[in-house]
Copies of this chain bind each other. A is one copy, B any other.
Amino acid sequence: MQAEIISIGTELLLGHIVNTNAAFLSQKLAEIGIDVYYQTTVGDNPQRLIESIKRSVRRSDIIITSGGLGPTVDDVTIEAIAALLNRRLVLNKTVLKGVKAYFKLRKVKFPIETMRQAYIPEGVKWIRNNVGTAPGLLVEYMGKTIVCLPGPPREIESMFVKDVIPYLKKLGKSDWVIRSRTIKTTGLAESQVDGRVRDLLKLKPPTTVGIYAKLRHVELKIMTKAKNEKAAAKAISGIEKKIRGRLKGYIFGYNEETLEETVAKMLIKKRLTIAVAESCTGGLLSHRLTNISGASKYFLMGIVAYSNEIKEKLLFVPEKLLNRHGAVSGPVALEMAKGIRSLGCTDIGIGITGIAGPTGGTKKKPVGLVYLALVTDNKQIVKELRFTGSREEIKFQASQVALDLIRKNV
């Protein structure tokens, strides 16, 4: 079974946005064992769109389009499908009701132009959009399946997982299972991870391992193609065991898991509470710690103390210490951690101070210098770190190391 993806939107052809939908759809199709042979991007041009769909129908079994379903005149996918099928567009009252409800919920007057999104080619199945207003289409045409989805990633992701995957599975258009497992690490550079698993990176299909580096985060992805779930699981777990042995201590999660999720789970399980005093990260660590549902179980408070005054007044950092060592120093980070811990009456206190840049660095204290402290009942840890990158990258890396410090010490 072969699929292809058509991404629709002049903004893609102009390079204004990066096509993340094609990667998402390809990945999801691979997971249910459907091969993608082509990804095509066309503009908001009915003629070239119809021509592309026709070509795809000739060479593939499943065609997934994304984009062009919005309420504006630029959006031409529905018209293209109607022209292809030679069907007229009819008002679908259920869709219209849904679109109206969408605006009512948001207390926004129903924009009359949105009416356009309730017109569907006659007799064609549609897919409910729970996140936006544009419905999707499920078209059976010349023995092939055409699925039309909207462009916004959160809409496409929700609809594809909820409705399209079950539909394709039911069609039986999937003979193989492709399964993957991502192992996420932090604390080692890409080359260090590479060095430890070099032999595995050279594996040939059906089971392969890929390495992907992000900021203070390196992932290994095991991928396998097998006849059934059991065989796939066996192939993956064999490799996974090897990787775990070689990267022990650096692995913080699997698949979609984030570092903050792992930390949150640990804190909840051990019934520990945390409070955070941030300077250079400016609230990012609190933000990440509160991105997890149920954060109030462990996260009690955060203070972003940008000025020395606040560090003294609220976090009880002694003025003398600030004068002697400067705000960006190990002793100040430690006092911040102690101060916030006693203020919040929590088990763990975190203090972060540093220079996020791009300005404010000196020869002795350059941009990227960060001090990180963790204080618990029986531990006091202070770390000096040096990061490079933009202001936001430095903030992110500092928050990443802080989360990892929590992970390793609770």
Q: Residues of A at under 8 Å CB distance from B? A: 7, 10-20, 22-30, 35-43, 45, 48, 52, 70-74, 105-108, 111, 113-114, 131, 152, 154, 180, 189-192, 194-195, 198, 201-202, 210-213, 221, 223, 276, 278, 281-287, 289-291, 293-296, 299-307, 309-310, 314, 343-344, 356-359, 386, 388-393, 395
**Residues of B close to A22: CB separation below 8 A:** 12, 15, 18-19, 41
Closest Cβ of chain B to A59, distance in Å, is: 9
**Residues of B close to A293: CB separation below 8 A:** 357-359, 391
Interchain CB contact under 8 A, B202 and A73: yes
Closest Cβ of chain B to A244, distance in Å, is: 20
**Residues of B close to A40: CB separation below 8 A:** 38-41
Q: From known contacts A15-B22, A301-B307, infer whether A107 and B386 are also in contact, taking CB-CB under 8 Å.
A: yes
Alpha-carbon distance between A37 and B52 when the two chains are bound, in angstroms:
12
Q: From known contacts A15-B25, A105-B388, A386-B106, infer whether A300 and B291 are also in contact, taking CB-CB under 8 Å.
A: no
What DSSP secondary structure best describes chain A's contact surface?
mixed
Contact of A282 among B211, B286, B305, B309 (CB under 8 A): B286
Alpha-carbon distance between A24 and B13 when the two chains are bound, in angstroms:
10
| Copies of this chain held together in the complex | 2
Interchain CB contact under 8 A, B287 and A113: no
Interchain CB contact under 8 A, A296 and B307: yes
Closest Cβ of chain B to A347, distance in Å, is: 14
**Residues of B close to A16: CB separation below 8 A:** 23, 27, 210, 212, 221
Residue from the set A15, A42, A74, A302 with the largest chain B CB neighbour count within 10 Å: A15
Contact of A391 among B17, B25, B291, B310 (CB under 8 A): B291
A287-B287, A301-B303 known; 17 new pairs, CB 8 Å cut-off, are A11-B221, A12-B26, A14-B180, A16-B210, A19-B23, A37-B43, A39-B41, A72-B194, A72-B211, A73-B198, A74-B201, A105-B386, A111-B191, A283-B285, A300-B307, A303-B303, A314-B314
